[in-house]
Structure 1
Amino acid sequence: MDPNSNQKDGGGGGFFASIASSISSFSSAMSKSVNGLIGYEGLEVVNPEGGTEDVEVEAQKGRWKQEDRDSYWRTMQKYIGSDVTSMVTLPVLIFEPMTMLQKMAELMEYSYLLELADECEDPHMRLVYAAAWFISIYVAVQRTWKPFNPILGETYELFNHHGISFIAEQVSHHPPMSAAHAENEHFVYDITSKVKTKFLGNSVDIYPVGRTRLVLKKSGVVLDLVPPPSKANNLIFGRTWVDSPGDMILTNLTTGDKVVLYFQPCGWFGAGRYEVDGYVYNAQEEPVLLMTGKCNEFMSYQPCDLEGEPTPGSELKEVWRAAELPKNDKFQYTHFAHKINSFDTAPKKLLPSDSRLRSDRLALEKGDLARAGSEKSRLEEKQRAEKKTREAKGDEFKPKWFDLTDEVSTTPWGELEIYRFNGKYAEHRAAVDSSDSSEELENKSMEFNPWQYDQLA
């Protein structure tokens, strides 16, 4: 969608009308029922590309072998309609060699946008840069492999990237919750992350019950993000793909300005897929700048009038473009995603609880699915053993780098307990960096250890 083309329409058309038209035109995706064709009740195969291909042929595509598909479906039938966030053991063949904590760090790839936002004097352009930064994560969200669920107490550190100090920690197991803190000279980023899911048979709805806060240091403004929900389609039958239809709302809590961007649902023959359109509004809720693009490729902006139409004589300018992707990458990784897994982005004397050290992740990265599966089971059993030990001792798990507060945030999908960065990680890192490096173990030789107790069955 090109807002410049709308300037030629005149009258009642234009950019604002095109958004409304898109919402109604792309309101439903092409779907075909598997029911009656291969004997599975209540399943749908949704093909974003449309076409006339036989649904049974489409259903057999994907990464599953027939026997694995049949077995998994028998196991999962009883969970239809349920939140399966932490109640189901999933086969390792659908995983990528990365944990959810690492995936949270992928948002840091285009952090240069926050440097631009922090240095910008125009309050509305600040929101353009910040909104583009939040949208950039959808390059990673479109990956169809599932990251490993972090073990309670697991951490991830990111180093050597734009001067950012990044630490994430798994702060709760039931329900699964993660917290992260990132900071450099331009910004402070904090998130308490929790998801709610609804399993629908061959798809799952994913609701981001989290709170995200971003502070730009120069101006001191505080930004709050509410992302859209997502849906993973064709989990068992067909080729898996992800859609994230709905509104993303970024609010400047300091001034009342905000950005509202609509992620269009995938329609017939892929129409509208990835397209994002919306406006930057001032505190009086008047449109000031329009934004348009594709969440997996680029975002652009342009001044607009009070009707939301591009200002005569103005130009559409690109604010962000995704980096070129590696060719034929097995896990659809970006170059930055590979860095996330690398010890090159790890600080000196990595925390032993770091995701990079997980034996199941390392085995999967080497292509050893059998070992990855057995190691995943071993770590999950050890986590259960630790829980029993903790309960027997009457202990309560306490994260190291984040503290549970009394604050409860209300989100569109439920209430959320807030964890706050306690500052101890900065003290730890300063102490390590000032120590004699010759006494430190090599990161690669360390053993994964997020455990609260030394001796576990």
Structure 2
Amino acid sequence: MSAPAKKGGWMSSLTSSFANFGTAAYSKVNSVLGREGLEVVNPEGGQEDVEEEANRGRFKQEDRESYWKMMHKYIGSDITSMVTLPVLIFEPMTMLQMMAELMEYSDLLNLADECEDPHMKMVYACAWAVSVYPAYQRTWKPFNPILGETFEMVNHNGITFLAEQVSHHPPMGSAHAENEHFSYDITSKLRTKFLGNSVDVYPVGRTRVHLKKSNMTLTLTPPPSKVHNLIFGRTWIDSPGDMVMENLTTGEKVILYFQPCGWFGKGRYEVDGYVYNKDEEPKIMITGKWNVSLSCQPCDVEGEPLPGTELKEVWKCNEFPKGHKFQHTYFADDLKSFKTAPQGLLASDSRLRPDRYALEMGDMGKAGADKTSLEERQRAEKRLREAKQEEFTPRWFKLSGDIAPTPWGDLEIYEYNGKYDEHRKKVEAEAAGKPIDEEQLRSMAFNPWQFEESEGQSVALEGQARPVEILPVSGSS
């Protein structure tokens, strides 16, 4: 690993120099495919034949042509919720489940809370923020949650995690997680810009982590991402730019720079930066690759390593399952299963979605049909709310009235209302230590709907949506 450059040099020019970094090796495909403005990017930097490289990917040629005809009119638009996408590009997880993936290495937050050194505290906290990137580089699309859908997680590092879809237009989710060392709150909203064969993704969200023993609050601003080769070529993701974590209580700050993939793959995965004290002096340098590990070393005010110190590894990525179709981690597989489900699982939980489960079982036809059915049912619910002149109200979160500025737009903040704690205590008291009945959980019908089943179903049938079915489950998920 190479050490970051000095403050005043490399670190002070990160933003201005971003546009000058070499981008990935581009092969024009206009002459081959007749698609003006489309480019195929090979993240490994290979100089393969343009047509061969363009024809890689999950789409068959006829699928590409059809998909391109459907999508080209949206170039320049935010396609977050305006386009119905084919299920063949989906993975059997929802956005709410992906939000929970940030908890895989939550032991780093435990270390941050216990650490007495204020600068190492920030090292552990920012390593936790980076740790999710190997999982988030998957090239499959998660399902958009249904309004009112939830996801619960227990049995991991003493954490209770809850996420809820609080808005459909625009799509927004909120989550709250807690254990003895920290509480975590996020309002998540993505803004996109479709560019033809790629899409820019801007994380218009707000994250708060409160370290309990330290009594400190941290905030996180991640870099944007770019999904390359949506239609032509091998799909891959890059997240170039700054990640900023601030200690709102004491003033320390971490700035990490995610290098863009350059020519012949140069710089891919590399991340470098510093922990700064409240006077904006570098105290610890951080370096590594976000798909492998991060290390740190004390530094002087010029950003140079202190004599007699060595790089110390603070985080290492866990191994991934070999040959997993959807590139899921072991932790992601646990999130899809009932291993991490609590007693009295909410019927609105993502695990119970029939389209998600059908895709996991490899039944593409049923997954597509069930996805359409759920979307039609959601539209029926909206019509019923409008007929009743009612607004959707989240069950576990509330609109705070606060507006948070982000680099990509202002954000309405939803906050945890605490009612889930009361619900969980009641459920656990009723269970009285009984083991979780997985068969009973598997037999539950997915139900995120705001109104009674009979009302919602009747309106759904008017919209020609068929009843939602749950596939019989055999073996582990």
Residue type of the alignment partner of 1:2: S
Of 113, 125, 131, the match for 1:136: 131
Partner of 1:280: 275
2:466 is aligned to none
| 1:387-436 CA distance string (max 9 Å, x none) | 01111110100000000011000000000000000000010011001114
Equivalent pair of 1:265/1:273 in contact (CA under 8 Å): yes
**Selected match of 1:227 from 218, 222, 225:** 222
Give the conservation status (yes or no) of the 8 Å contact 2:321–2:330.
yes
Q: Is the 8 A contact 1:357 1:446 kept in 2?
A: yes
Look up the match of 2:115.
120
* Aligned residues of 1:26 and 1:272 also touching (Cα < 8 A): no
Deviation at 1:95, TM superposition (A): 0.5
* 1:68 corresponds to 2:63: yes
Q: How far off its partner does 1:148 sit?
A: 0.4
SS of equivalent to 1:73: helix
Taking the TM superposition and a 5 Å limit, the aligned residue runs for 1:35-434 are 35-434=30-429
Partner letter of residue 443 of structure 1? L
How far the C-alpha of 1:119 sits from its partner, in A, is 0.5
What's 2:472 paired with? none
Structure 1 CA distance for aligned equivalents of residues 157 and 342 of structure 2: 14
Amino acid at match of 1:363: A
Question: Which AA in structure 2 matches 1:278?
Answer: G
Unaligned runs of 5+ in 2: 461-477
Counterpart of 1:452?
450
3-state SS of 1:103 partner: helix
Bigger mean CA deviation after superposition, 30-39 or 182-191: 30-39
The TM-score normalised by the length of structure 2 is: 0.91
Asked if the contact 2:255/2:273 (under 8 Å) is kept, the reply is yes
Match in the other structure for 1:2 = 2
The equivalent of 1:10 in structure 2 is: none
Q: Partners of 2:246 and 2:392 in 1: how far apart?
A: 34
Alpha-carbon distance in structure 2 between the residues aligned to 1:399 and 1:353: 12
Shift, 1:49, TM fit:
1.5
One-letter amino acid of the structure 2 residue matched with residue 90 of structure 1: L
Q: Secondary structure of the residue that 1:343 maps to in structure 2? A: coil
Task: Determine helix, strand or coil for the equivalent of 1:37.
Answer: helix
TM-aligned CA deviation for residue 51 of structure 1 = 2.1
Secondary structure of residue in 1 paired with 2:295: strand
Amino acid at match of 1:208: P
How far did 1:367 drift? 0.6
Q: Distance in 2 between matches of 1:55 and 1:49?
A: 14
How far off is 1:33 after superposition? 2.0
The range that moved more, 230-239 or 38-47, is: 38-47
Shift in CA distance, 389/14, structure 1 to aligned 2, threshold 3 Å? closer
Letter in 2 for 1:450: P
Against the structure 1 CA distance between its residues 310 and 24, is the aligned structure 2 distance closer, same or farther, given a 3 Å change threshold? farther
Looking at structure 1, the residues matched to 214 and 339 of structure 2 have their Cα atoms a distance apart, in angstroms, of 33
Q: Deviations over 1:249-291 (max 9, x none)?
A: 0000011110000000000111101110000000000000000
Tell me the distance in 1 between the aligned counterparts of 2:370 and 2:342. Answer: 25
Give 1:318 shift.
0.2
Q: Deviations over 1:228-259 (max 9, x none)?
A: 00000000000100000000000000111100
Q: What's the secondary structure of 1:102's corresponding residue? A: helix
Give how far 1:66 is off.
1.0
State TM-score, norm by structure 1. Answer: 0.95
For the residue of structure 2 that corresponds to 1:86, the secondary structure is coil
Residue 355 of structure 1 aligns with an amino acid whose one-letter code is S
Task: State which drifts further: 23-32 or 404-413.
Answer: 23-32
Distance 1:36 1:126, change over 3 A: same
Residues 335-362 of structure 1, C-alpha deviation per residue, up to 9 Å, x if partnerless?
Answer: 1010010111100121000000000000
- Deviation of residue 53 (structure 1)? 0.8
Distance in 1 of aligned mates of 2:282 and 2:131? 23
Once the 2 structures are TM-superposed, how far is the Cα of residue 16 of structure 1 from its aligned partner?
Answer: 7.9
Distance in 1, Cα, partners of 2:321 & 2:8: 36
8 Å CA contact retained: 1:157, 1:166: yes
Question: C-alpha separation between the residues in 2 aligned to 1:314 and 1:23?
Answer: 30
Whole-angstrom CA distance in 1 between matches of 2:103 and 2:198:
29
Q: Which structure 1 residue ranges, 5 or more long, are not aligned?
A: 7-12
The answer on whether the counterparts of 2:114 and 2:213 sit within 8 Å (CA) in structure 1 is: yes
Partner deviation per Cα, 1:96-137 (whole Å, 9 max, x = no partner): 000000000000000110111010111111100000000001
Asked whether the equivalents of residues 240 and 258 of structure 2 are also in contact (C-alpha less than 8 Å), the reply is yes
CA shift digits 1:318-343 (9 cap, x unpaired): 00001111111111111101001011
Give the CA deviation at 1:50: 1.8
**What amino acid does structure 2 have at the position aligned with 1:266?**
C
Return the alpha-carbon distance in structure 2 between the equivalents of residues 397 and 33 of structure 1.
Answer: 47
1:442 corresponding residue in structure 2? 440
**Cα deviations across residues 36-83 of structure 1 (Å, max 9, x unaligned)?**
211222211111112221111101000111111110000001000000
Q: Deviations over 1:182-205 (max 9, x none)?
A: 000000100000010000000000
| 8 A contact 2:177–2:184 mirrored in 1 | yes
The CA distance in 2 between the partners of 1:188 and 1:63, in whole Å, is: 39
Q: Which amino acid aligns with 2:402?
A: E
Q: Secondary structure at the match of 1:425?
A: helix
Q: 1:69 to 1:24 in 2, by over 3 A?
A: closer
Runs (4 or more) in structure 1 with deviation over 6 Å come to 13-16, 18-22, 437-441
> How many angstroms apart in 1 are the aligned matches of 2:355 and 2:370?
5
Taking every aligned residue pair, what percent have the same amino acid on both sides? 66
